């Protein structure tokens, strides 16, 4: 069954020491509670051992750093009785983790009953969810259970060096490791979740997703940047682009977008005039509705 395959998939990625700490033992649901109540310390050695078991060829380099994990985020249970276990899958490049041993990607988890405090714990988290609400929301509150329940969010690589983001730039073979991690896990995760939409965070992710979806499936429609009626910034070069695939017996729409949670994409998502940003998000949302028909 898909749900059994998913649990095995997660345990293989993260090891039992993390999976048992954050995933309910009976249901495919993340345990509730704020980070201080769930995240355990002293697991960095177990993290490194898990990574070395997956990628022994890089074991010497792996031992030189402290590693932390990004657990995929979702609200409620994954409903494998439905075609789409979650409607929308967001894929980032790799985690940025400060002093934690592991965390949930972009804070997508219930901190208490109907409370989602950690989705805006950091500025990039809040920026991501506000922008996604502009694209997919139809209410007034991005912190509503109804809205957040539509998402599953993960990364190309589910682990990274603990500390500042620039730590990864100094790590030997990182681009190769990230690609191999994605080769090992990401396409299987897409097959198990079977989302209606995939949103890529950055060109690195989009290139990987496009290559693998085209290798495994079939493109049935494309909407390029030049086809958009919505006015886009002058700096906008190769995104947004929408592609519709027939894959795993279903239709999946891939959205290639500028990074929704990155300050580096300020010119696209967060211009000085708030009304411009909202108008752009609404325009792209309408373009997507047209494309989805």
Q: What is the pLDDT of residues 58-78, one digit of tens each?
A: 888 888 888 899 999 999 999
Tell me, what's the pLDDT at 169?
Answer: 62
| Average model confidence (pLDDT) across the chain | 89
Closest by alpha carbon to 157, among 171, 132, 175? 175
Tell me, what's the pLDDT at 151?
Answer: 98
How many distinct helices (H) and strands (E) make up the chain? 11, 10
Query: Residue 139: pLDDT above 80?
Result: no
Average pLDDT over residues 204-232: 94
- How many Å apart are CA 224 and CA 214, to the nearest integer? 16
CATH of domain 2-292: 3.40.470
Tell me, what's the pLDDT at 42?
Answer: 75
- How many Å apart are CA 68 and CA 56, to the nearest integer? 17
- How many Å apart are CA 102 and CA 95, to the nearest integer? 10
Query: Residue 153: pLDDT above 70?
Result: yes
Q: Check: CB of residue 109 under 8 Å from CB of residue 73.
A: yes
Tell me, what's the pLDDT at 273?
Answer: 61
- How many Å apart are CA 165 and CA 198, to the nearest integer? 24
pTM (two decimals): 0.94
Tell me, what's the pLDDT at 55?
Answer: 87
Average pLDDT over residues 79-93: 96
| Domain edges within the chain | 2-292
- How many Å apart are CA 68 and CA 186, to the nearest integer? 18
Using DSSP, state whether 104 is helix, strand or coil: strand
Per-residue confidence band for 166, with pLDDT thresholds at 50, 70 and 90: low
Average pLDDT over residues 268-280: 74
Per-residue confidence band for 110, with pLDDT thresholds at 50, 70 and 90: very high
Query: Residue 177: pLDDT above 90?
Result: no
- How many Å apart are CA 129 and CA 121, to the nearest integer? 11
Query: Residue 202: pLDDT above 80?
Result: yes
- How many Å apart are CA 16 and CA 230, to the nearest integer? 47
């Amino acid at each position: 069954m898909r749900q059994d395959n998913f649990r095995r998939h997660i345990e293989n990625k993260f090891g039992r020491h993390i999976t048992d700490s954050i995933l309910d033992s009976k249901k495919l649901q993340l345990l509730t509670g704020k980070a201080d109540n769930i995240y355990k310390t002293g697991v960095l050695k177990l993290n490194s051992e898990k990574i070395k078991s997956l990628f022994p060829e890089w074991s010497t380099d792996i031992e030189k750093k402290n590693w932390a994990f990004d657990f995929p985020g979702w609200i409620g249970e994954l409903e494998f009785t439905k075609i789409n276990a979650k409607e929308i899958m967001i894929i980032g490049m790799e985690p940025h983790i400060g002093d934690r041993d592991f965390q949930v990607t972009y804070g997508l988890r219930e901190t208490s009953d109907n409370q989602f405090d950690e989705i805006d714990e950091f500025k990039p988290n809040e920026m991501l969810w506000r922008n996604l609400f502009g694209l997919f929301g139809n209410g007034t509150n991005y912190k509503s259970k109804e809205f957040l329940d539509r998402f599953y969010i993960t990364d190309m690589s589910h682990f990274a060096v603990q500390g500042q983001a620039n730590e990864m730039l100094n790590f030997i073979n990182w681009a190769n490791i990230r690609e191999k991690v994605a080769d090992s896990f990401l396409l299987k995760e897409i097959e198990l979740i079977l989302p209606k939409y995939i949103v890529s965070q950055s060109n690195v992710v989009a290139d990987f997703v496009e290559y693998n979806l085209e290798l495994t499936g079939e493109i049935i429609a494309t909407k390029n940047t030049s086809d958009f009626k919505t006015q886009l910034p002058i700096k906008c070069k190769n995104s947004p682009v929408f592609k519709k695939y027939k894959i795993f017996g279903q239709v999946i729409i891939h959205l290639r977008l500028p990074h929704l949670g990155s300050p580096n994409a300020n010119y696209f998502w967060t211009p000085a005039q708030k009304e411009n940003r909202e108008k752009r998000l609404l325009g792209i949302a309408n373009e997507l509705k047209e494309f989805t028909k």
